[in-house]
Structure 1
Amino acid sequence: MLEDQVAFLLQKYLGNYVCGLSKEALKISVWRGDVELTNMQLKPEALNSLKLPVKVKAGFLGSVKLKVPWSRLGQEPVLVYLDRIFILAEPATNVEGCSEDTVQEVKRSRVREMEMKLLESQQQLNSELNSSWLGSFIGTVIGNIKLSIGNIHIRYEDIESNPGHPFAAGLVLSKLSAVTVDDHGKETFATGGDLERVKKVFEFRKQDISSTASKAHTYILRPISGKAKYTKVHVDEAKRSGQALQNAAVDLDDVTLSLSKDGYRDILKMADNFSSFNQRLRYAHYRPSLSVKSDPKSWWKYACRVVTHETKKASGTLSWEQLLRNARLRKAYVSLYASLLKSDMSRLVVEDNEEINSMDRELDMEVILQWR
């Protein structure tokens, strides 16, 4: 059971970012206590969680190592090591050539993320789960994960927001680490009541840029290093004191900002491009592949289809036939979804179910979440 939980968490967090992750291989390697994944390619939609029209042009994750101390689990932390994360990102704003499959994949990713947030919030409110042995044990393991990430290179390149004026931004870190600490800032292993007010310290170190690179590029934000502290307090304590449930503080060693007139203009152009993309994305899979001049009839059909859909949505009314069809669809959807949740590794089974995916293609995100 614990092996399934760990494998599920790995699939949940890594599956959204890397290609070809085998669920069975994960379960076997977790059971052995050591997970080692190497040379993984990042998915083009790996940056969807940023809620920006950005995609991975090229991405590489050198290695992921996870050590699970099964004999002392609940007494020693699970160690997670990631090394060599290289990401080259670019705008994902060309919706003219966007296929329906691409749009549906974006929708599935957002539904998955929103669903997990809803489930996590419900679990926090469920006192029976929180007080159970298994829930407490899993909470102890997750609350004490020790994370270390080395060699992080992230670069965003934009040549389309402002044609003729390419724009680039980057983040380079030699190391990012996170550990659980006590009230005095010393590394510790939290158990019992201490898990209700977890404290985590993050440390990030900059990677020095050579003098040659410094002359070749103009940086809005120079490489930085520093520490961050995250604190979660108990719900009752937060209510009594009036403070936030979660707090984060960042302490940077040295910050240098340099913004030119051209750089400011490029940032505004990029923001406009992002805004336009979000408006076009909703009906991207309806857009004709040919230009307006080449196929004006298809573009008129596209415009009518979008306006009709928006009008129906704004009116909030359905025909009797639509109402009956949606009622039947909901009954089938909820029944199938409930049966899938009873199976082993339920969330992964739902993700792979063709019938659920087929029905999801017809539904809006809000409807999918409501039915689930």
Structure 2
Amino acid sequence: MFEGVVSQVLAGYLGRYVKGIQKDQLKIGIWNEEILLENVELILEAFDYLQLPFALKSGKVGKLSIKIPWKKLGWDPIIVVLEDVFICACQREESEWSSDSIDRRELAGKLAKLNAIELAKFSRRVSDNQTGQSFISYVSAKILDNIQVSIQNVHIIYIDSHEDQENFIFGLRFSTLTITTDTRKLVFSMSSIGRSRVGQVNKIVVISTVEFYCKRLEEHNFFSIDDLTESQLCCNLDHEREDYIINPFDVLVSVRANKSGMVDGGIPQYDITVELSDLVLSLNEIQLRQIFGLWDYFTICGLRKKYGRYRPSQSSLSKKVEGWQILWWHYAQQAILADVRQRLRRISWSNLGQRLNYRRRYIDLYRRKLELLQNEQVVSKDILQELEKMDKECDIDDILSYRSFAERQLQDLLLKSKSSTSGANNIMSSQEKNQNDEQSASRARRWLNWLSLGMLGAGGTADTSSFAGVVSDEIIKDV
């Protein structure tokens, strides 16, 4: 049963980022204690939530391995290995700055932030909950704490291409990245069962042979990034020592995190120590100019993210068409008016009324969703679609306040139902208590009467002349 849950979780998580994930393949791999995927491609649209200022052209993983030691789960670590990771990025095309594309990336980023906040809230609640600190919870905490990640031979490149100019490649490469648990700070005694959930996590991150370089792209006869074949691209990945911006160096990061999220006794929530070895920076004039150009492009991308929906799609300043002055004047006008309208919208009465209506509706729908999930029932599509629609239109702060209020309402309803149930139970228990008292009194009377007639009476006979008789009711009550 646990293997089926793990396969479902892995299929859902990996299926969002890796193409061609088969559930049957995962089930077979889990039973063999190892899931092995080779030469898989990444789903580039899955990274829209990062809202990167550049586009991902391709992404490949040579080997993905997950080893789960079922026989010693909780004692031996779960090992995740990635090898030969290659990611290629480039400038975004004009079509990717359309209103629909920007809205899609903004929505993905907003939902990712909401999910991260909700996950952190859930983690704090689980850490603060002191119930259920059993051997199962201890083993579960050890399983999560003992996950080891190893990433080998990672190469990330960014192709900076311009029309009628030289093209350059920025590259980031490292040979290994390992994430392990700091065993020097672990407590293996059974007394740590209760503290494993509210304690600290100590991780060590080691990155070997990190290098950052910038070099000229040798292939001149292409019009776009898509014209570059894989063999031509691989030929340009070899670089000389003078291409380094930062010479190869090693990084050691020690992370100590407080899982409860509470800062007590002067203990920080996160304690990070970074050690660098042999960090050498070298730049020539061409590389410095390319870095400034790249920084300028990223700054412009930030502005296009905000105002790109008003930019003329069929016009460019490099290719001036007839009437380009009017188009760009309207672009500047719409960009300025967008900021003015947004400021006025926050203090307008119509927006206040709309927010109140949204607040009531969102709280009601979200509370109903939580009730259905708590009762293990299926949430209807209408509720999910309406919540998703309001998630698009509302700000993150408003959504978080709506959800918190809905959770408090649900908690109040549960407390009221428990109190009413406990009141009815108290009435029933009082009646049962009276009956039990009468039964216990009669049982005590029978026992004491037997005791008085036997051991305390006439030597175990029925003769009561040597004793005052059976124990009276007053004495029984006193007893």
TM-score (structure 1 length as normaliser): 0.75
**Contact 1:7 / 1:26 at 8 angstroms: preserved in 2?**
no
Question: Which residue number in structure 1 is paired with residue 118 of structure 2?
Answer: 119
Distance 2:49 2:294 in 1: 19
Shift in alpha-carbon separation, 1:139–1:360, aligned structure 2, 3 A = same
Question: Which residue number in structure 1 is paired with residue 304 of structure 2?
Answer: 280
Deviation at 1:244, TM superposition (A): 2.9
Question: Which residue number in structure 2 is paired with residue 80 of structure 1?
Answer: 80
Distance 2:258 2:96 in 1: 48
1:313 aligned onto 2:342:
yes
Deviation at 1:187, TM superposition (A): 12
1:61 aligned onto 2:61:
yes
3-state DSSP of counterpart to 1:239: coil
Report the more deviating stretch, 307-316 or 179-188.
179-188
Deviation at 1:87, TM superposition (A): 0.6
Q: Give the aligned CA root-mean-square deviation in angstroms.
A: 4.6
Which amino acid counterpart does residue 63 of structure 1 have in structure 2? K
Match of 1:206 among 198, 206, 209: 209
3-state DSSP of counterpart to 1:176: strand
Deviation at 1:97, TM superposition (A): 4.7
Q: Between Structure 1 and Structure 2, whose CA radius of gyration is higher?
A: 2
Distance 2:51 2:390 in 1: 24
Distance 2:18 2:103 in 1: 18
Deviation at 1:309, TM superposition (A): 3.3
Distance 2:71 2:362 in 1: 42
Q: Deviation per CA, 1:64-101: give whole Å up to 9, x if none.
A: 22233344433332221222211111233x55652334
Distance 1:358 1:122 in 2: 23
- The runs of 5 or more residues in structure 1 that have no matched partner are none
Question: Which residue number in structure 2 is paired with residue 143 of structure 1?
Answer: 145
Question: Which residue number in structure 2 is paired with residue 105 of structure 1?
Answer: 104
Question: Which residue number in structure 2 is paired with residue 169 of structure 1?
Answer: 170
Shift in alpha-carbon separation, 1:200–1:187, aligned structure 2, 3 A = farther
Question: Which residue number in structure 2 is paired with residue 225 of structure 1?
Answer: 250
Question: Which residue number in structure 1 is paired with residue 273 of structure 2?
Answer: 249
Distance 1:30 1:225 in 2: 34
3-state DSSP of counterpart to 1:223: strand
**Contact 1:60 / 1:86 at 8 angstroms: preserved in 2?**
yes
**Contact 2:157 / 2:172 at 8 angstroms: preserved in 1?**
yes
**Contact 1:43 / 1:56 at 8 angstroms: preserved in 2?**
no
**Contact 1:90 / 1:158 at 8 angstroms: preserved in 2?**
yes
Deviation at 1:146, TM superposition (A): 1.4
- The runs of 5 or more residues in structure 2 that have no matched partner are 214-234, 404-479
Which amino acid counterpart does residue 173 of structure 2 have in structure 1? V
**Contact 1:95 / 1:281 at 8 angstroms: preserved in 2?**
no
3-state DSSP of counterpart to 1:220: strand
Percent pairwise identity: 24
Distance 1:35 1:184 in 2: 30
Deviation at 1:218, TM superposition (A): 0.9
Shift in alpha-carbon separation, 1:279–1:221, aligned structure 2, 3 A = same
**Contact 2:245 / 2:283 at 8 angstroms: preserved in 1?**
yes
3-state DSSP of counterpart to 1:275: helix
Shift in alpha-carbon separation, 1:171–1:65, aligned structure 2, 3 A = same
Higher relative contact order (CA 8 A, sep 6+): 1
Deviation at 1:334, TM superposition (A): 4.4
Q: Deviation per CA, 1:311-348: give whole Å up to 9, x if none.
A: 2322322343x5444444444444445555655999xx
Distance 1:189 1:252 in 2: 37
Shift in alpha-carbon separation, 1:291–1:237, aligned structure 2, 3 A = closer
Shift in alpha-carbon separation, 1:72–1:216, aligned structure 2, 3 A = closer
Which amino acid counterpart does residue 151 of structure 1 have in structure 2? N
Number of residues of Structure 1 aligned to a counterpart in Structure 2:
363
Distance 2:238 2:174 in 1: 16
Which amino acid counterpart does residue 122 of structure 2 have in structure 1? Q
Question: Which residue number in structure 2 is paired with residue 183 of structure 1?
Answer: 184
Which amino acid counterpart does residue 314 of structure 1 have in structure 2? R
Deviation at 1:275, TM superposition (A): 1.4
Report the more deviating stretch, 263-272 or 185-194.
185-194
Which amino acid counterpart does residue 229 of structure 1 have in structure 2? S
Which amino acid counterpart does residue 317 of structure 1 have in structure 2? I
Which amino acid counterpart does residue 176 of structure 1 have in structure 2? L
3-state DSSP of counterpart to 2:343: helix
**Contact 2:41 / 2:60 at 8 angstroms: preserved in 1?**
yes
Deviation at 1:27, TM superposition (A): 8.1
**Contact 2:50 / 2:109 at 8 angstroms: preserved in 1?**
no
Deviation at 1:145, TM superposition (A): 0.5
**Contact 1:177 / 1:202 at 8 angstroms: preserved in 2?**
yes
Distance 2:189 2:28 in 1: 27
Distance 1:59 1:72 in 2: 34
Shift in alpha-carbon separation, 1:203–1:97, aligned structure 2, 3 A = closer
Distance 1:138 1:30 in 2: 21
Deviation at 1:274, TM superposition (A): 1.0
Which amino acid counterpart does residue 282 of structure 1 have in structure 2? K
Report the more deviating stretch, 354-363 or 275-284.
354-363
Shift in alpha-carbon separation, 1:214–1:278, aligned structure 2, 3 A = closer
Which amino acid counterpart does residue 122 of structure 1 have in structure 2? K
Shift in alpha-carbon separation, 1:338–1:186, aligned structure 2, 3 A = closer
Question: Which residue number in structure 1 is paired with residue 432 of structure 2?
Answer: none
